[in-house]
Amino acid sequence: PSSESYLRGEKIIEVARQSGAEAIHPGYGFLAENADFARTVAEAGLTLIGPPAAAMELMGSKTSARRAAIAAGAPVVPGTTEPLASAEAARETAAQFGYPVMLKAVAGGGGKGMRLVASADEIDSAFANAQSEALAAFGDASVYLEKAIERPRHIEIQIFADTHGNVVHLGERECSIQRRHQKVIEECPSPIEDANLRERMGAAAVEIARAANYVGAGTIEFLVSDVTREFYFLEMNTRLQVEHPVTEMVTGIDLVREQITVAAGALLSFTQEDLQWHGHAVECRVYAEDPEQNFMPSPGRITNLRLPAGPHVRDDGGVYAGAEVSIHYDPLISKLATWGRTRREAIERMRRALDEYAVGGIKTTLPFFREIMRDAEFLAGQLDTGFIARFNERREPARKATDENETDRDEVARRDMAIIAAALAHAQQNRAATSNETSQPPVSQWRISGRIAQQHTRDLF
């Protein structure tokens, strides 16, 4: 289990000491946002490649992050700035803001400890479930409440700061396609392609990072109205994001390299004025999950693996044929990203890459992504956090028609097999009857020919 492996911070520090390492890169798992781990690393005389513990604590707590965003002048989703004491407090607060509302883990991330509540009748169970999930995932059961924004886009801004006071943003990523509040497809830039919106959101993200005295790579997440282009601060991820490859492919900036040099005390290698966005990139998170069963995990052994390749195709994966996908870890097995000069070209390249990709032995999200890359709403850039639910509704009639066609084909096949079986049985019976009527062995043609020749010789003499 993760609690006995990569979440054992003291073991990681011990390994770093034994190996002579000077720094630890925590990746993008839960340790990457663990302030206690950051302090322990510093106390051990090592460098954590990430933000300081104080910034993690401030922005890692969703309620204190909201307060910091408000202080920085950023618009926030209406909601509480303190944890809720009870389900009754949640009910009273929800009544003030109006339903629907969202309950969220204070220490949360990755969609854990979140519950959408449509009415007061759902508060008790949603509150208990959110607390339980938050405690299991983060060791903190605290939850807070936000007004749910209906059909919003989920757009995030990548920021970077060094220890010399420089803070820049690297543009936006569109992350609206989600299941269980966790992203599955990301793009850079957003299909909105609004330079003014990018500038306003980028400026707000930079101010929030400055208010937090932030250092390193981080992401400010916003909800955006597709109608009014208004945006609201959602939360900050104090780490490198899973979806960072799409930003790297469009900006040409190696974010991991930049993390390491900034942690070593160097200046950022670029300024805000240096940044340019070229083309478009799309990423699909390949999960060991069954999309036809509500994305249930599909653990097991990978029996065969064929990876896509080619220009502007990037697969960040760590599995191989024979590898075991465990129930103890996140089911993400690969991040597949493609780049194109236009969004359409990036999507067409992704289609080819997905068609080349093959994983045997387990269920994956690959077939699901192949369908989405050909979906009319997706191609039109009509995205929001409810996209997958609508997508499934759109494909349901086609799926039923396919099922009916398959049922018809199965019925025809069964009828044909019955006819064939009856014909074979009839032929077998005829052969048996013929065999019984002619019990004598057949006369040899060689013997007949021999007899004719013998008789002919006798006639000559």
* 358, HSE (Cβ side, Cα atoms, 13 Å): 6
Taking CA atoms, 352 is separated from 104, 279, 348, 391, in Å, by 38, 18, 7, 21
Q: Record the tokens describing residue 174, joined without a space.
A: 């569109």
Domains recognised in the chain with CATH numbers: 1-48 (3.40.50.20), 50-72+151-272 (3.30.470.20), 87-147 (3.30.1490.20)
Of 91, 115, 239, 314, which one is the catalytic site residue?
239
Q: Give residue 452's pLDDT.
A: 64
Residue 251: phi and psi, rounded to 5, are -95, -20
Taking CA atoms, 374 is separated from 191, 287, 313, 352, 388, in Å, by 16, 19, 18, 12, 14
CA-wise closest residue to 113 among 154, 150, 78, 141: 141
Grouping H, G, I as helix, E, B as strand and the rest as coil, residue 316 is strand
Residue pair 173/248 in contact (Cβ under 8 Å)? The answer is: no
Q: Give residue 448's pLDDT.
A: 66
CA-wise closest residue to 269 among 251, 245, 291: 251
> 255-263 and 244-251 are packed helices; what angle lies between their axes, rounded to 10 degrees?
100
CA-wise closest residue to 112 among 93, 128, 125, 131: 131
CA-wise closest residue to 157 among 235, 212, 213: 235
Q: pLDDT tens digits, residue range 316-337?
A: 998 999 999 998 888 999 999 9
Q: Give residue 5's pLDDT.
A: 80
Give the E-state strand segments of 10-164 in sequence order: 23-24, 47-48, 101-105, 115-117, 143-147, 153-161
The number of residues making up the chain comes to 461
Q: Record the tokens describing residue 205, joined without a space.
A: 């993200």
Q: Give residue 112's pLDDT.
A: 84
Residues of the chain with pLDDT under 70: 110, 398-410, 432-461
Please confirm, yes or no, whether 179 is among the known catalytic residues. Answer: no
Give Dmax over CA atoms of the chain in angstroms.
134
In this structure, how many other beta carbons lie within 10 angstroms of the beta carbon of residue 425? 10
CA 218 – CA 412 distance, rounded (Å): 59
Residue 367: phi and psi, rounded to 5, are -60, -35
Residue pair 93/80 in contact (Cβ under 8 Å)? The answer is: yes
